[in-house]
Structure 1
Amino acid sequence: MKNETMYFNDLLSIWLEKQKQARALSTYVKYRHLADRYISPYFRSIQLSKVDLPMLQTFRNSLLSPDSLHPLGNGTIRCILLLVNSILRLSYETGQTNGILYLPPRLPKKRPEVPVFTLQEQKQLEHYLTAHTGISEAVIYLGLYTGLRVGELCALRWENIHFSDRYLHVRHTVQRLTRLDTTHKSELILSGPKSISSNRLVPLPAFLLPILQPYSHPEHPDYFLLSQSANSPMDPRTFQNHYQRILSQAGLRYLNFHAIRHTFATRCITNGMDPKTLSEILGHSDLKVTLEYYFHSSLEFKKEQIDRLTALSPAVHTSLPDMPHNMTD
């Protein structure tokens, strides 16, 4: 039933409660953060009946404003717009509005620049990891050849690694999330993986097995790889600190840990792995994400591809005829 005095933020609270019941905790926390920071302040004290397309367009423009001290990425803006559209759809479904208002979430394409390690840098890192043994070094090696996310690596238990069959099973992830109480403190949460497709089997290269096995606990298969206990996984931030220290000691520039995942994807494609297989290994639900965000073609690889094309030309095998003197460009 239509409520003439209902405010937009009243409906936002109802919508958030529905998401809390239907979504994973990490997803709900993300939605709550975006709602509290960007949606609720803008629509404060605005009745639903006053919301119209010009107002929504002004809101959209405010997110895109280049004057902002901390400009938002396209992915964040797109997510906020999708949330607002979902709230507007709920207002129609509950009879609060007579029609569905809609904010186009499509934005100008802006491919994120995510640096990857060059082949020489990767070799240098692997040389260091081989020369300096430790569980952190072994897990970084594991990341280089599986592309697992840092939270997935921190959530790995020894029972998830099947040495005899040469694969691992990604079943959980670890994240540090902000509490939803008044303290706003964060806590470490062990939960299911990011999506259904993220729950996956990942093959292991044979050379990694003897690198990992010395640290395994056959008598305690429920122990986490990194914390060596059954109860508390390592905080991803702690592991990233170890990773940063290792890069420094290896004499390498700092790239955040997600660059390891991008480096893995790039090596897979440049060495001939088909994108569909790579997409499944990475745990993507959409092949387009794999190709658009996780494949970084180096100049060396582009030259190699051009050389393959050049080899098809008859000019490579026969001398070119003399060009007419009167030929112009």
Structure 2
Amino acid sequence: MASRKRNPNGAGSIWQRKDGRYEARVYVPQPDGTRKRKTVYGSTWEECDEKRQELVRRDRQGIPTPSRSAKLSEWLPYWLEEYIRPHRKRTTYVKYEMHVRLYLVPLLGSRRLESLNTANVRRMVSEVTAQTSAATAREAHRVLRTALTAACREELISRNVVQLVPAPQVEPRALNPWTLDETLTFLESARGDGLYPAFVLAVALGLRRGEILGLQWRDVDLERRTLTVRTTLHRGGKELYLDTTKNRRTRAIPIPLMCVAPLRWQRLRQSAQRASAGGKWHDSDLVFTTRSGLPIEPRNLYRSFLRIASSAELPQVRLHDTRHGCASLLFAAGIAPRTVMEILGHSQIAVTMNVYTHVSDDSRREAMSHMDRLLKRRR
């Protein structure tokens, strides 16, 4: 019988069982923050000691080792707090947390990591699709796949069953942005609205809603006619917060002349509001604020957009669709794709080319008229 070797306090101990195998027990951290005793076995003392040392190493690195297979209701919240919150954008955390809270834990929370199977995942996808939409189910599928990938890396499970279940197919949304005449009609109708400068930026620069509401005066240079996009405003639960841009990159955009006067007017209007509010003014340096200087609720900007479009009897589109319209107008003006990509703030030119360009009926007619000229039979 091999002699028993002593280990440091907390590092567990090894002994030989009656069946000849070796056994070690080590107290290890659990996903819920508690500590429990974990048992490992080996046919030799060395094999058992190697497994024991691995548990000790994980403990010192703060990596949880469940004494039994953790439930998804235990692993998913831990994964959000330890893997997503410290390393991903806050907007990503908020989105993932919503899917975990509304769909994954209610539908799969009682399942243990090791017992989760493809049938469970398919049932979850079907139920989320029935409750909401295929797009939401696809996102929930992606969140669960990402969470289980982390569990695989931590060797809590041997395989990611979500990868064996195809994500639901989502039909691409039909894009019908406004024509040039419809866009001009909207701007004329919005001229008397307090958010008119915001809508001008959306149409002329293709800024996202959060980028418009997160714009700060320190990033606007009206003398040099440049605007720097570096922050976005988001609603996360019960609070509004500023975050970095979608791809974490800042971008400087030259301001067209049609944007200068509305921005000057907005600065004067905000100064008057500040003077009127007095000590109740909340100084945030944001370009677009409420009468008391607070950030504007993103939904309110969208509601104003829909109200103005409806009063002008324009086709109903999303505020985000103004980005599609901006890209199409820039392409129609002969602007290089790379330049359009930089203006819109895309990380890949394929997104600009495949998603944010819309070919109008007039453009198609003009293209086909060339066929008449090229293929016209000689007389």
| TM > 0.5 | yes
SS of residue in 1 equivalent to 2:108:
coil
Q: 1:16 — aligned with what?
A: 80
SS at match of 2:86: helix
Partners of 2:337 and 2:349 within 8 A in 1: yes
Name 1:111's counterpart in structure 2: 172
Bigger relative CO (Cα 8 Å, ≥ 6 apart)? 1
CA shift, 1:47, in A, is 1.7
CA RMSD of aligned residues (A): 2.9
CA distance in 1, matches of 2:217, 2:240: 20
Report if the CA contact (8 A) 2:108-2:120 is conserved: no
**Which one of 138, 159, 179 corresponds to residue 218 of structure 2?**
159
| Structure 1 residues 301 and 176, CA gap change in structure 2 (3 angstroms) | same
Could you tell me which residue of structure 1 aligns to residue 109 of structure 2?
44
Matched, 1:301 2:360: no
Q: Give the Cα–Cα distance (whole angstroms) in 2 for the partners of residues 97 and 20 of structure 1.
A: 22
- Which of 293, 299, 308 is the equivalent residue of 1:246? 308
What residue is the counterpart of 1:95 in the other structure?
155
Equivalents in 2 of 1:45, 1:61: separation in Å? 18
Counterpart of 1:297 in 2: which secondary structure? coil
Give the aligned residue type for 2:132. H
Cα deviations by residue, 1:248-287 (Å, 9 ceiling, x for unpaired): 4434344332222222122222332233322221112232
Secondary structure in 2 aligned to 1:311?
helix
Identical aligned residues as a percent: 24
Q: Which amino acid aligns with 1:99?
A: R
| 1:211 partner letter | P
Give the corresponding residue for 1:214: 265
What SS is found at the alignment partner of 1:141? Answer: helix
Give 2:261's aligned amino acid: P
Q: Which amino acid aligns with 1:38?
A: Y
From 117, 123, 134, the counterpart of 1:72: 134
CA distance 1:60–1:72, shift in 2 (3 Å): closer
In the TM superposition, residue 62 of structure 1 has moved relative to its aligned partner by: 4.3
Deviation of 1:63 after TM superposition, in Å, equals 4.4
Name 1:7's counterpart in structure 2: 71
Distance 1:70 1:80, change over 3 A: closer
Distance 2:187 2:73 in 1: 52
Q: 1:3 to 1:115 in 2, by over 3 A?
A: farther
1:272 and 2:334 are equivalent in the alignment? yes
Q: Deviation at 1:16?
A: 1.0
Q: CA deviation at 1:32?
A: 0.5
In structure 2, what is the equivalent of residue 168 of structure 1? 227
Contact 2:206 2:323 in 1 (8 A): yes
Equivalent pairs, count: 302
1:283-294 matches, cutoff 5 A = 283-294=345-356
Q: In structure 1, what is the Cα distance between the partners aligned to 2:188 and 2:195? A: 15
After superposition, give the CA deviation of every residue in 1:5-64 in whole Å (9 maximum; x if it has no partner). 421222212211121222222211110001111211221221222123343344344445
Larger radius of gyration: 2
AA of the residue aligned to 1:9: S
Residue 188 of structure 2 is matched in structure 1 by: 127
Paired with 2:243 and 2:156, the residues of 1 have a C-alpha distance of: 36
Q: Report how far residue 71 of structure 1 moved.
A: 2.2
Partners of 1:228 and 1:286 in 2: how far apart? 35
Match of 1:26 among 85, 88, 91: 91
1:233 equivalent in structure 2: 295
Q: Which ranges in structure 1 are unaligned for 5 or more consecutive residues?
A: 179-185, 320-329
Contact 2:178–2:325 (CA under 8 A) maintained in structure 1: yes
Q: Specify whether residues 304 and 224 from structure 1 end up closer, same or farther in structure 2 by C-alpha distance, changes over 3 A only.
A: same
Q: Do 2:189 and 2:312's aligned partners in 1 also have CA atoms closer than 8 Å?
A: yes
CA change 1:272–1:111 in 2 (3 A) is farther
Structure 2 regions of 5+ residues with no counterpart?
1-64, 275-282
1:297/1:137 CA distance change after superposition, 3 Å: same
Q: TM-score, normalised by structure 2?
A: 0.70
2:228 touches 2:251 (CA, 8 Å); kept in 1? yes
CA distance in 1, matches of 2:183, 2:100: 40
The Cα offsets for residues 162-206 of structure 1, whole Å up to 9 and x where unpaired, read as 22222211121112221xxxxxxx222222222224x21122212
Q: 1-side partners of 2:172 and 2:334: how far apart?
A: 23
TM-score by length of 1: 0.80
Task: Write out aligned runs for 1:126-205 (5 A).
Answer: 126-129=187-190, 132-133=191-192, 135-178=194-237, 186-197=238-249, 199-205=250-256
- The answer to whether the aligner puts 1:257 opposite 2:308 as a matched pair is no
Preserved contact between residue 341 and residue 348 of structure 2 (Cα < 8 Å): yes
Answer whether contact 1:89 1:101 (CA < 8 A) is retained: no
What SS does the aligned partner of 1:213 have?
Answer: helix
User: SS of the counterpart of 2:259?
Assistant: helix
Check 1:238–1:98 CA distance in 2 against 1; reply closer, same or farther (3 A cut). closer
Deviates more, 1:225-234 or 1:237-246: 225-234
Q: What CA distance in whole angstroms lies between the structure 2 residues aligned with 1:310 and 1:262? A: 30
